[in-house]
Structures are given as structure tokens and as C-alpha cells.
Amino acid sequence: MDWGVAILLALAGVAGGIINAVAGGATLVTFPVMLAAGLPPVVANASNAVAISPGHLIAAFADRAKLPPLDRHLATALGVALAGGVLGALLLRALPDRLFVLPVPALIGFATLLFAFAPHIQAWTERRRGGAAPSRTAGLGVLAGASVYGGFFGAGLGVILTAVLSIAEPNDIRKVKVLKNLLAAAVSLAAIVTFISQGMVRWPETLAMLAGALFGGYAGGVLVRILPGRLVQRSVILAGAVMTVVYAWRYWF
């Protein structure tokens, strides 16, 4: 790996760390750069997951005022995220390169629509349940599916988690983003342990991108604290829409 490629990977890591913290969707930038560096798709995906994963945790702790208490519900959600990440990573290991990207555009598009209409969905569910608490079982089921997907590929995981969490917390985007980053970190941790144990990671490219992602994740966490909530929400929707179009063009046509 020459210096030009290393610098490109580091810059992609910075951009990815900021994007993941603010809106989600870093893989739109970082995964293509891994491919451009010459890595095969599955290896590029595994290496990309390792490189950008610390940014989630750094971004969460950069906005410590909104960190949730470590109670039974958070512990359960983190356990579901870890288990889903392992299952998704094992599924990726079992599939050939040409199959693992096919469902990505549809999943990201659905998540983007879910996030865009989250306030309306939340209002509708409030009317339906008549003030009763939302079903935690259903929420954990959706989280489990998102976590498996995150371990499998991860593109748009931040958008999907933000969409799901926004239904319960439609008026506190900072709280949603911190919890999203914690859960995404758990999914990524489970996946990357699996990837490393299976020898699926190319370390020179991964470390170059990781260096940039560490800085970008902290910078993005600070930006979430400063930027207006509506601007962050619109950036999530824009990121999801762009990712849907780009991945649909790439893998379906």
C-alpha cells in the first residue's frame, strides 16, 4: 500500500466518522474507498467494519449529557445488538461476494422512509395504544433484525437504528443519536471480533482508515451537540436517500 492510498483511506475515515455520528451512512464513503484500494468485496466489508466501528462509541461519549443510564432495558438492548452482530457476521462469512449486497438498497430505502415519517408514526401509535407504553418486545425484535443486518453489511445501519429509535423518541434527536451510536458500537464489536477470528481483515488498509475514523467520530459527536435537531434530521433523510440510489444503481442495474 503506497502513501497516496493510505492518505485517501485516512481521509475517508475522517469523513466516515463525522457522517456516522451526525447522520449515519459512513459506509457510503468508506466501503467504496476500500474497494478502490484493491480489496475484494467481502474483505473490504470486513475491513471497513473494523475501521469505522470505534467512531460510534467515541461519538456517543462526545455527547455524555444524553447518555442513557445502564439499566436492565439498555443492557437487554445491548445484548440483542451483540448477538445480532455475531449472526450477521457469520452469515456474511457463509455467502459468496455476489450475493451479500443484493438486499442493501431496499433495506436502506425502507429505513429512510421510516425515519422521515417517524413523528407521524409515533403519533399514530400513541392514538392506537391510548397512552400505554410501547411494546418493548416488538422494539427488541426490530433491533434484532437491524443488528443481524449490521453484522452482515452495515451500510445504513445508523439510518435504520435512528429510524427505529425515533419512533419512541421523536422529539429528542440528540438522545436518539447517542443511543444509536451505543447500539451500533455493540453490533460492530460483535461483528469485528468474528471477522478478525475468521481472518477476513486486511490490516494495513484498516489501520489507515481507523486513524481517520477516530478523529472523525469525536468531531461528529461534537457537531451533533451543536447543530439544530431539524438540520440533523434532514441530513439523515438525505444520507439515506443518496445511499438508496447509489446502492440500487450499483447492485441492481
Q: Is the pLDDT of residue 11 over 90?
A: yes
The residue extents of the domains of the chain are 3-252
- Percent of the chain past pLDDT 90, that is, above it, reads 27
pLDDT in tens, 79-120: 999 999 999 999 988 888 777 778 878 878 887 887 788 777
Contact of 48 with 30, CB cutoff 8 Å: yes
Query: What pLDDT score was predicted for residue 10?
Result: 95
Say how far residue 192 (Cα) sits from the centre of its chain: 14
pTM: 0.76
Q: Is the pLDDT of residue 151 over 60?
A: yes
Spell out the alpha helix ranges (H) of the chain: 3-22, 27-36, 41-62, 72-94, 104-116, 118-129, 136-152, 157-168, 173-197, 203-226, 229-252
Query: What pLDDT score was predicted for residue 13?
Result: 92
Query: What pLDDT score was predicted for residue 212?
Result: 93
Could you give the CA distance from residue 86 to residue 154 in angstroms, rounded to a whole number? 12
Residue partners of 166: CB distance under 8 A and separation at least 6: 115, 118, 119, 122, 173, 176
CA quadruple 10, 15, 16, 18: dihedral positive or negative? positive
Higher pLDDT, residue 156 or 94: 94
Q: Which amino acid is at 11?
A: L
- pLDDT band of residue 130 (cuts 50, 70, 90) is low
- pLDDT band of residue 197 (cuts 50, 70, 90) is very high
Could you give the CA distance from residue 247 to residue 106 in angstroms, rounded to a whole number? 9
